Structure formats: structure tokens, C-alpha cells
Amino acid sequence: MKHNAHVYCKLSYNNLKANMQHWGDSDWTRPLTRIFYNAMFECGKISTGLISEKALHNKLIKEKTTHDHYLSPQFMGRMILDNQEKYLSDYETYKEIFYLACSTVEVTVEENSDLRQFTSNTDNDYKVFVPTDEKYERAGIKLYKRPEGKKYWKYAQPTQEKLYFPDDLIVYEKQFLAPLPVDKVKKLSKEFKIEIEPCKVS
């Protein structure tokens, strides 16, 4: 992360707090959620140390990889604004969720693009087709990690380490769950070469 990451965190908190009364006005939805999103990207990433099997392969043959913010930062911004009493009344609570949203997993460019298909945000109509804590499994992404003390990726091994998902987020996103559209099911099943079932909404 940048040495002044804390400045972006504090600035975004102050900006959201100063304008939170506008939340609920559709004209303000994107501008407000982008305050969180842009500040988070500007301050840099926090690597989980995890990498997908395909990204590891790319690393070893010196091909491109990218970092996936596995918690969907713009959606995190929405959660914060829908829960102002918790996240915008106490800076320490906000800071914790802000830095968590900076967490990344190294994946291929193609995996990163495909993971985006699991959500949709058109005209402020946000939909979650696959719960956040199920995305990697549903996409068939296997995670690897280097043993402690090992610097080079050639030492990376399959890991059972689990990504952390805040309970608040998992509960909050349930109201946005929607079945995965047929066209996306076909596209992703072909891309991942696995059968992807539409999300069941309870």
C-alpha cells in the first residue's frame, strides 16, 4: 500500500459522512459509492498472499496476472452507506472495513473478467448472482500459497486457507440475490469448462 494510505481512508470517511444525507437519492448513488471505490484503489492493495492455480501457471511462464479485490469494493461502499449508523459514526469501524476491502487475490485477467459476471449493476439496479463467499468455488478457482519463508512462486502449494468474509456483508447482500441469467450460465460454463448452476434464491 502507499505510505499515505491512511489519508485516502480518512478522506473517504469524511466525504461520505459529509454527504450521507443524500443516500437514497438515485442521482447520488454512483457518486457516493465511487468515493469509497476510488479512495480504496488509490491507496493501494493488500495482498492475501493467495493466487489461483491458473495465475500461478502464468507467473511461472512469465505471463500476465492481475489482482482481484474479492470483496467487490463498490458494493462494500453501498453496504456502508446503507448502514451509516455503524460505519459512518465511528472512524475505527470504518477503517477496518476500508482496509479489508483492499484485500486481493492474484488471478488471471480472464478469471477476473469472469468473476465480474457474478454481479450486475445497471441503472442502480444492483444484483448478486452468486454470493460473495461462493464465487471462487463456483468459478472452479483453486487457491495456492507459498510456504512461510519462501519468496519464489515455484514453491507455491495448494492451500486450504479460507478467505475472510464479513458477516455483515454476507447478510446484507442476501437482499440483492437473483438467479444467474441463462446467457451468463452458458458463457461461464463454457469459459470455466464446468457446469455452473443458477444461484438459488431463498
Domain ranges of the chain: 5-192
pTM of the prediction?
A: 0.88
pLDDT score recorded for residue 109: 97
Determine how β-strand 46-52 pairs with β-strand 103-107: parallel
pLDDT score recorded for residue 28: 96
pLDDT, averaged across the chain:
91
Among 14-23, 63-72, 122-131, 187-196, the range scoring the smallest mean pLDDT is 187-196
Q: Which three cell numbers stand for residue 128?
A: 448478486
pLDDT score recorded for residue 14: 98
pLDDT score recorded for residue 163: 97
Q: How many CA atoms lie within 13 A of 102 on its CB side?
A: 22
